[in-house]
């Protein structure tokens, strides 16, 4: 509900034909504070344990966030409340539109279930995301599951477009097929191919005029045998 601006309006029960959860009578016995804190801690542990990173890597990211000025100011906003868009610190301005998704979980600054990466560590994370030289869409999908910083999508695109291996692989792709001209009469142009099926070799002959195929079984895999079947 924190993401929305709303006005509370009382509607009599007799006018609520399908009451939602907020309109129902609350439990008479509220949660004990200890039980609520235990549930919150369990939820946080579930999120951090599902992150695709080892405990050692998570500890390293915690230290990097503590040393990063932007992360520290974000943490202050999370714990003390956000300023208006005009008054927010310039370093944190790119995060303002997603402010309600940012939280501190188990000492990690996160946006939703994604770890916010300090600027000093972003280049290394880009290398890890592009490990295996995946295409842009797959790299972005990998990032959406684990890490975040403003502009990460464009950073991934720039990384891949400047990758020497990816550029070389792209230039080595096969050229598009060139269609053959249509012959003027039958058997003017033929296509031949050899293939093996169940330990026997076959000759495939295709007439380009009618596209009609003929298949002949070869007694021996020799040029003389192929020429003999072509006569």
pLDDT tens digits, 41-90: 676 666 666 666 778 888 899 999 999 999 999 999 998 889 899 999 99
* Residue 5 within a domain: no
How far apart are alpha carbons 230 and 227 in whole angstroms? 5
Q: Of 129, 148, 164, which marks where a domain is finished?
A: 164
145 and 194 co-located in one domain: no
| Domain count of the fold of the chain | 2
Buried b (16+ CB within 10 A) or exposed e, 155-173: bbeebbeeeeebeeeeeee
* Residue 204 within a domain: yes
| pLDDT tens-digit map of 82-137 | 989 999 999 999 999 999 899 888 889 999 889 999 999 999 999 999 988 888 99
* Residue 24 within a domain: no
How far apart are alpha carbons 141 and 144 in whole angstroms? 5
| Cross-strand pairs, 158 | none
* Residue 140 within a domain: yes
Write out the residue range of the structural domain in which residue 149 sits: 36-164
195 and 108 co-located in one domain: no
* Residue 184 within a domain: no
* Residue 26 within a domain: no
**pTM of this prediction?**
0.58
**For 184, what's the count of Cα atoms within 13 Å in the CB-facing half-sphere?**
0
* Residue 207 within a domain: yes
């Amino acid at each position: 509900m924190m993401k929305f601006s709303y006005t509370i309006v009382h509607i009599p029960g007799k006018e609520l034909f399908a009451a939602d959860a907020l309109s129902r009578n609350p439990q008479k016995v509220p949660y004990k504070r200890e039980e609520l804190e235990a549930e919150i801690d369990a939820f946080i542990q579930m999120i951090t344990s599902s992150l695709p990173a080892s405990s050692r890597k998570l500890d390293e990211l915690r230290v990097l966030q503590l040393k990063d000025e932007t992360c520290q100011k974000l943490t202050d906003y999370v714990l003390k409340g956000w300023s208006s868009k005009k008054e927010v610190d310039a370093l944190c301005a790119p995060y303002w539109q997603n402010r309600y998704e940012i939280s501190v979980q188990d000492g990690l600054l996160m946006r939703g279930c994604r770890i916010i990466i300090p600027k000093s560590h972003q280049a290394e994370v880009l290398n890890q995301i592009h490990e295996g030289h995946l295409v842009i869409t797959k790299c972005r999908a990998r990032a959406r599951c684990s890490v975040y910083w403003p502009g990460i999508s464009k950073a991934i695109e720039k990384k891949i477009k400047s990758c020497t291996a990816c550029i070389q692989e792209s230039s080595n792709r096969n050229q598009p097929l060139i269609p053959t001209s249509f012959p003027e009469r039958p058997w003017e142009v033929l296509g031949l191919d050899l293939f093996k099926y169940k330990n026997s070799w076959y000759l495939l002959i295709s007439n380009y005029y009618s596209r009609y195929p003929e298949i002949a079984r070869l007694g021996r895999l020799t040029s003389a045998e192929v020429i003999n079947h072509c006569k």
